[in-house]
Amino acid sequence: MDVILALLSGALLALSFPKFGHPAIAWIALAPLLVAVCHRAQPWRRGFLLGLTTGLVYFSGTLYWLVETMTTFGGLGTPMATVAAALLILYLSLYPAVFGAIQARLVSAYGRGWVLAAPAIWVASEMGRTYVLDGFPWELLGYSQVTVLPIAQAASVIGVYGLSGLVALVSAAAAYAAIERSAWRWRIAAMVAVTILLVGGWGTARIARGSLRSSGTPIRVAVLQGNILQDQKWDPAMRDAIMGRYIEMTREAIGRNAQFILWPESATPLPYEEDLARGESIRRLAREGKVTILVGSDQLEPVKPVAEGKPPASRIYNAAYLVQPDGTTAAIYRKIHLVPFGEYVPFSRLLYFVGPLVEAVSDFSAGTEAVLLPVAGHQASTGICYEVIYASLMRAFVVRGSELLTTITNDAWYGWSSAAYQHWDQASLRSIEQGRYLARAANTGISGFVDPYGRVLQKSQMFQSAVMAEDVRFITERTIYSRIGDVVGWLSVAFTIAALAATRRRLR
């Protein structure tokens, strides 16, 4: 029965996210696992296995698209792609497994009431998933609520990790009511219900007040969705057609009075600085239209040979170039968080059996600095591709002075799967956390604009060309979250470590 409950939790977690799920499911998703782990004292190893079971279903349901991505664009056969995806899913499942093990240990030491510590322990596991190695914080529990705007406003104070804890709190209260027989179960349930109502009421009032929508300096921004299919993107025969499409779309955006125009990630068919003729066409367009253009392109940096007589090598970066109205390059941002199995293969020597993928994936180097983009006398920032799911990076931009968030991406890799929809939702939450407008240019979608309260102003359809322009604002006001960062997350880590350490004396 416990295994069935763990499987159920995994399924409910997977069904908490787009495009097949619903945010309401997230509120009770952890309850079955908590009942399985906490209804009686049991060894931490059993809690670990139950959590691992939940994690395997959870991440299989949210990352199923990895197999198609690696077979279609990575050159792997379906069996090998399945193995590679399974290894990543198994790794990510270790975090719910550790959650289950810690929860079992605490219940054995202190009693079933410690099921109520689950929100902090779950958040600590998500912090681990974010910061261990380079991290992979895809579909944290708090992201499930991004479309429930009254609740999502809490992210402006406690961030996505606090939002995860809030959602997990309901599951913890439900599990406590199921395994506890005292009157306290109803009192706890009532207190949690009042907490959620208060958060929702405050969020509703915050949206209605809407002071950030009239704050700051207005600017008209355009995003371009070129809809270049992945199998055409690097075809030499398509280079002129691709550049021609973006040039025409940029002219259309200029015709709509855009002052700042975003091209998607890796939009240029060749590295911007190496492709002199096509690069000049971009610079000329910026001068003629008196606009600022953000261009997603690779950057090659020569590296001094390590030994005499060896040919010079180059580092390659996934970059964004800011072209000013006078045609000069004002800033270059290099992507800091690279996509595993997309821009590099982790532990490639160990994963020798994915050789075709290693050969198909460019060995990108990671940037190191959160570079700001000077636009019309203000500061903007950009995250490239899945960097936008790193809340701390987007906050770092705002701490440095970013008044407008942008993100450029190429989600063509994901086809029609859930990934592009998941990616859009995760990006949208950054606008609430930081109290900033967000502009997003995606090669095949989803592109659009989100206001500082998470409201979608414009949103494109998938796999369609689109030019969208919107009046947004440079904002200098700071949210509480942008000031305090992931305090809730780090407090959860500290609490979990302290509680776990105390059990050593308790269980001697």
Tell me the catalytic residues: 265, 335, 385
Report the 10 Å Cβ neighbour count for 294.
26
User: At 359, which helix (H) or strand (E)?
Assistant: helix 355-360
DSSP state of 444: S
Number of H helices, E strands in the chain: 18, 12
Query: CB of 35 within 8 A of CB of 6?
Result: no
What span, in angstroms and rounded, lies between the C-alpha atoms of 176 and 112?
A: 8
Tell me, what amino acid is at 277?
A
Q: E strands of 195-349, at which residues?
A: 217-225, 260-262, 292-303, 313-323, 329-334
CA angle 83, 86, 89 (to 5 degrees): 160
SS3 for 378-417 is: EEEEEEEHHHHHCHHHHHHHHHHCCCEEEEEECHHHHCCC
Phi, psi angles (nearest 5°) of residue 378: -125, 180
The C-alpha angle with vertex 402 and arms to 397 and 404, in degrees rounded to 5, equals: 115
CB 285 within 8 A of CB 325: no
CB contact at 8 A, 84 and 351: yes
Residues 6+ apart with CB under 8 A from 196: 151, 166, 170
User: Are 287 and 324 spatial neighbours (Cβ–Cβ below 8 Å)?
Assistant: no
Q: Quote the CA–CA distance of 444 and 70 in Å, as a whole number.
A: 18
**Do 425 and 155 meet the contact criterion of CB atoms below 8 Å apart?**
no
Nearest in space to 380 (alpha carbons), one of 290, 460, 260: 260
> What is the C-alpha to C-alpha distance for residues 333 and 272, in angstroms, rounded to an integer?
13
From the list 342, 320, 243, 314, the residue with the least C-alpha distance to 285 is 243
Task: Select from 342, 335, 321, 332 the least CA-distant residue to 263.
Answer: 321
- Residue 407: which of 154, 429, 158 has the closest Cα? 429
